[in-house]
A and B are shown apart, each in its own frame.
Chain A
């Protein structure tokens, strides 16, 4: 299975889904008007990965901000990861946020509350 790589734009995040190492990453911002159009290929890729996932998958969300239509799609991604995790293949999620960004921290808490998935909230180290 091939990796999925999408470069970031002013409105959409950088996405790396690497099936060799089981490392997934979403970084940047996600504010497209048509969020489903952007996220659909990611869902399709994840559905394929779910058929033969690695024993361990680590997913990093390092988002600056996203709109509410993206938040539904991010929930859909996390639901797919939750299913992989429930099937006995460990999935670990790290949710990064800036130290002073309690909005992004709260959003991470929202997802923690809604899912049966280990989501670790982590303050981003400032460079």
Chain B
């Protein structure tokens, strides 16, 4: 990954205001560079889901847990562009006991065909799929649908309680016909 491919990178506390500012900034940048309208829309869409996903996740974490290697609601957010794709990478700490569930979900999404993703989306939207409260399950499916590519992910162990979870979504710069 070359540095000049990166449109935006941030590491630190994630607040609702920050998420708004990032979205606006990247949107303006895409606008200014004359990117294809459809590609721009998709990148923006995936970015909204990725960033809000992290924000909601961090919001639900206990902030004062002394075993949390990073005390604040800290995350890594990165948006960049390569020859063929835009990439959106998020990283945040997750409790180890959440990993099996997250991993199972990501693998299921990655195995699903376009049609299966559509079905899964409808199931979760109506509350019959993934037993998850709120909309957390829906975000990842939506990201996968809009990305059209497999989601990259990694769990890097930090200590006996936490791991660093990174998620990468890619959006093709070549608009399909």
Contact = CB atoms under 8 A, between A and B. Distances in A.
A110 B121 CA distance: 9
Report the 9 A-B pairs with minimum CB-CB distance, sorted nearest first: A68-B138, A69-B135, A68-B142, A68-B139, A33-B16, A68-B135, A100-B38, A67-B48, A31-B48
Interface string A96-127: 00101101001000100110000000000000
A103 B41 contact: yes
Interface string A2-15: 00000000110000
Given A98-B37, A114-B125, 18 more contacts: A31-B52, A33-B16, A33-B19, A33-B52, A67-B49, A68-B138, A69-B138, A71-B135, A72-B135, A75-B126, A100-B37, A100-B38, A100-B175, A101-B41, A103-B42, A103-B145, A110-B122, A113-B122
Interface string B7-51: 000000000100110011000000000000110011011001100
Give the interface size bracket for B toward A.
20 to 34
Contacts of B48: 31, 65, 67
Nearest to B45: A65
A69 B52 contact: yes
A67 B125 CA distance: 12
A71 B121 CA distance: 11
Contact of B125 (A65, A75, A100, A103): A75
Contacts of A103: 41-42, 45, 145-146
Contacts of B125: 71-72, 75, 110, 114
Contacts of B111: none
Contact of B23 (A31, A100, A101, A113): A31
Given A33-B55, A33-B56, A71-B138, A106 B20 contact: no
B118 A67 contact: no
